[in-house]
Structure 1
Amino acid sequence: MKLFSRKLRYAAIRIPLIYCVFAVLWIMASDQTLALLLPEAASITHFQTLKGLLFILLTAALLYHLIHRQQLLASRYNSLTVHANDSILLFDHQGKLVDANDRALRMYGYTRDQMQHIHARQLLPDAASDWRSCFLAEAQHNGIIFESEHKHADGSTFSVEVSACLLKIGGSDYIQAIVRDITERLRVVEKLRESEQLLAHMSAIAHIGGWEFDVETGIGSWTREVAHIHGVEFKDNISAEFGLGFYEAESREKIEAAIQQAIDHGKPYDLELELVTARGIRKWVRTVCTPHIIDGRVLKLQGSFQDISDRKVAEDKMRLATLVFENSSEAIMVVDAESQILSVNPAFTEMTGYTAQEVVGKTPKILASGKQDRKFYEEMWHLLDSNGKWQGEVWNRRKNGESYAEWLTIDTIYNEHGEVIRRVALFSDITKNKQNQEVIWRQANFDQLTGLPNRRMLHDRLNQEILKADRNHQMLAVLFLDLDRFKEVNDTYGHLMGDQLLQESAHRLLHSVRECDTVARLGGDEFVVILSGLQDKDVVQDIAQSILKKFDTPFQLDNDLTHVSVSIGITIYPEDGNAGEVLFKNADQAMYVAKNNGRNRYSYFTASMQAHAQNRMRLSNDLHLALPGQQFELYYQPIVELATGQVHKAEALLRWQHPTRGMIPPDNFIPLAEETGLIVDIGNWVFYEAARQVKRLQSLHHASFQISINKSPVQFHNETHGHEAWISFLLMNDLPRQSIVVEITEGLLMHTDESISAQLLGFRDAGVQVALDDFGTGYSSLSYLKKFDIDYLKIDRIFVRNLSRNSSDMALCEAIVMMAHKLDIKVIAEGIETEEQRELLQQIGCDFGQGYLFSPPLPAPAFEAYLRP
């Protein structure tokens, strides 16, 4: 700074000297001026001397002034530079540091000797390339203040504010830079910015913001958070109406009244209101207002807005939780970490009999019934400690000592450190449910009539017995039992007696087997026995014979004794099959063999039965394709009037021409059609085909020609209005209603219900004749013949086959003919194969005959040829 002060001093001296010179010259050149000023002066010499003295005095005064001014300027400059808080640097035009004050030395960390060799680049960061631009920036001639980075002597950087300008000193260019360390200021600014951000962040988290309203101008302002709460973009000024527009009528009236009170009387307010944001979202807010009063007048309103929607939701949840706790139908118990009861709800009191005062402070052991052992509770606490949850069934005891079953759910509540603070137990009384479940379980697994295991339980038992047999290397047997002619007895004596018969049958079966065996009822009159733990098969035969013997004893039904036998099918595990379903199927097949062999016997399953069953299944599958594949055909067998030999009747007989097996007998596929229900569609096809054929025969042969068709009982049961469609078809085709004769079996009459009776009576009323087929083989009642107005009786072929003049069959046939004629019923004898049979039947007055003596069943063209004379 010495160089700088020296040059400044020379500059300060030069300027006043110039003025002194001009002043002296002026004075010396102006004698006339002095003469005018001093008219009494003696001579010009005196003027010259006086002017010299004046010159000397003026010069001395000027010199004194200049020296004093220089000293004053130097003192002021030194004071400014030495005591300045900012660093002052002077650089020449090459960037060499010319001078610097002490503050600069301390700021940059250099000594004065080191500073004499410093270049401006050494004070700048390494990345700076142009030292002049870093000090002067763009405003080199006018000076500029800007912020930058400078470097300490140790290489560390710091932030500075630079005020720089160009100076002309002694004809040379210099750069003067006043540098201020602003590191602390920037740190404070950054802290302030962080604080503002933190405040804004906290306001956003708390959903709280401020607002202000000028009462005189009607203009207000709010913070960004308040704008966010209202769902609008932030702007500094808003009108009062703009803010109030978010409230619905009730809330708006409330806040307008509060604002008016604040303006008129300086009354603060604190309100919780519901508003609708600009986006249509409903929110709860808390608005607080403090009036700003000066000289008794309210000039401003200041306050805050806070979104309290979450709090409101929490409060609603708390209220709801309280309502649930108090009104829950489930008992609730809250305990602390030490399992001491803290709270219970009214349902707890109602369920256990204990009031809150009686249990609070105690442990749940007060409810223990003692039915669960220590291991049970150890496992419960292990799960609670592992995952904080447990759920299960527990037996507890009420205050009155009564035990009850409850379904218990326990949840654990932890604090922020993962420590248990609460456990909540919810439980409901399931005693009645368990009792109901027991009833339901028994209903689901046991037969309600006999108390025996039902089909479901039977399957479970069989699977268990199979596993046991495998484990112990033993055999077991499955016996499938069916009561013989049970349906006939049931229909004769009624269902009540039938149920009694089933109960007694179950009792006899239970007393025919060992304790380790299982007796089950499948349904209807079917039973199954599982004989387990067998070492040999002789036991099976002994038990089967014991069952048959038990059923030799007649059943007492009401006042009558009734004989009912049983047919038994037997299959052995593992010889005949290794799965439950296979064993059931095998035993079922063996049972049918026993029935077909005469009933009241047992039959073992054989491989041939399996082959027969598989063949039956394949045939059943093919039967579904027969009707759509046009594989059926009607054959016609003539019914001859024995007295005249005329043929005005025929029976339509169904034939199945299988595409690969050829002609299949009706006895093989008709039962399958009935079992599968296909007989309904097949029977309708037979009717329509026979109706078309009879129309043709009436036109070609005889106007009153009749064709008989067989109608299965399944058709009567499955088509309750099928007869109406048949009658309508006859009328539509101009066929006399006597054109078709419907043949039924005796069994149908025995098991008639209202629907079957209605159909038979419908045929009678419409004029369609009905024939009773296979008469004499069943249990027909004469009342049925009268009730349903039967038109024809057909004597079964078993009575005709061995017919001779003195045989019992002859007497029986004669009795049937006489009885029928007495009832005005015509008689048709089936199976006539010899001339003798024809003559004998004719002699006893039989009306019609049918059999191979006259003709076998013929296809339609052959039958038409047979009718030609």
Structure 2
Amino acid sequence: MTEPRDSPDESLEILLVASDDEEALVRSLLAGVGAGITQCPGIHEAIARLAHKSFDAIVAAVDNAPQIEDLAKLGARAGDTPILALSRRRDRSLLDLAHARGAHEALVLPELRADLLGYALHLMIERARCLHQRRSQDATLRTLFDLDANPVWICDPQTLKFLSANHAAVETYGYSEREFATMELADLLPRGSASSELPPSGRTVVGRHRTKDGREIEVESFAQRTELGGREVVLLRVREVTAERRAMRALEASERRFRDFFEHSPGFIFIHELDGTLLSVNPAAAASLGRSVAELLGTPLRDLAAPHLRFLIDQYLQRIANGDEDAGQVRVQHRDGTELVWQYRNRRYTDADGSAYVMGYAQDITAMRAVEQALQRSEQRLRTVADTLPVKIAYVDAQLRFVFANEAFRRAYSAADDGIVGAHVRDVLGEERYARREPWLVRALAGERVVFEDEEGDGEDYQCVEITFIPETADKDGRVIGVHAMVQDITSKKREERRLIHLARIDPLTGLINRAGFYERLESAIERSREKEWLLSVFYLDIDRFKQVNDTHGHAVGDALIRAFATRLGENVRASDAVARLGGDEFIVVMEGIPDVERVRAIATKLVLAMSRPFELRSENLTLTMGASIGVAACHACPLGAARLVARADALLYQAKQAGRGTYRLELIDATGQSEEA
């Protein structure tokens, strides 16, 4: 932008924007002013001229609206150079419009005297020069104002309102410059502050301010009265010292805490030179040795140990002299000759003057060592007892790593090549066994005492153990810190239970499963049918006219016939099918996974034909031809319970008997439990 020339004593340089016929009139008026005139006939030429030369003033002839509008374009390019508008029309509105479009003065040409024109020009130029100087000064001050790294405000000395705020103030306090323009010093003080006065002029005071987000900060404030732009103002500058003050308070508190800790600590604190001379010792350490603090100052460390152990002190002094830190245990002597065990950790430091010293901390572990030794002896006795027990005993920590295992446990899991203690349970047990026991371990780690059985192997390799997990908790917070495990072999007991259960589920006459065993098998079959959505079939059979056999030949022949019937029934079904005798001459078969109903029908036909062949009862020297009736209930994803399903098959068996015996009746049950066409 073009700035006014700073040369009041030189002749004026005027840029005249006027047509040729107006130029002569203006030149004649300016002849007495002593100005150099550069004439441009139009606005575009004048703008081009301003790009290469500065002028003291611009005089523009304006007589119509387009020329008035050109003033705005000229003013945008002229910057601070004053513009005088001259018009040949006595039109007040035209002159007002010229002012509105950027003219600094507007005069009427007719009857305008040269001296008045000269005076107006000089006055306008001087005013522009002063304005430019003030703006330049303000810009320089603002630059310095914003470059200050600390918050600075310009305040009204009477109201303490903020007139301006620098960038640092905006960043530190969080308010924008526009917000600061509506605030005063009191708005920065914490709520409840007693005074909002400025600091005394020329003095720095420490106080507290509040930022926009409510955070309180500590600041050093400095205020200075000065003059700016012709008015008295106060320049307020602050420096945030929150971190510094906090650090100072922390250092002071740390020193106080150290003094308190040194004097009142139950532990033993001491400082000595590299040669072992004691420089300082706290009361607790002195009391532990049966001496006073004053008595110990200046005493060599060697004198604190029994004569036959002083070589250990010499070795320690050599280690600490060659290294920065040393820790361990040392034996010292009480005034009465009692030997104490101290556990220590010492470190070497260097003073500001370069001299080295050692500070250390120790505690008396004499009693603790005695307890530890007694505990070790007790643990050894317990380990001996545990190793003689046949029960497998172990203890694992919260991370499921073995801490202890007795001899029986170690023998049982000798596959762990690297030993058991320290190994993870998974690595000792193996993946398969660990997977079975993991849910119980999780419950134990949650604080529950659990007892369960774990079986593996079949036949001669079958083994069953009873396992008890007992959680151990921490005394303070009840947190589980480990689990005790006891493993007892109950294989022989389980074998006997299995034998008894097997006998309870077997029909003694035929060797088939009995009613109780059958219903267990049927319940499982129904569940599989629902899970796999396959066909389940129940065949309910009885021997036709069996009562006549008993009545005619006696019960011994009847029993022989039942055994023969059971044998033939087993020969005509699959090995995977469940065959049971429900009692008397009633038998039942459960078949799973038959492809379709037609195949079920074929099996029923096969069984009817098989049972119609004569039965040779060799033990009785008798041959009987009997036959069988069958009721078949079949369903996909069986919707019925075991009892209802058997009842449906029994009802179908009755229908087969009503139809003349030696036949079957079949019913396909749908998802709702109703019969559908089979």
TM-score by length of 1: 0.26
Who wins on radius of gyration, i.e. which is larger?
Answer: 1
Q: Tell which has more relative contact order, 1 or 2 (C-alpha 8 A, sep 6+).
A: 2
Choose between structure 1 and 2: higher helix proportion.
Answer: 1
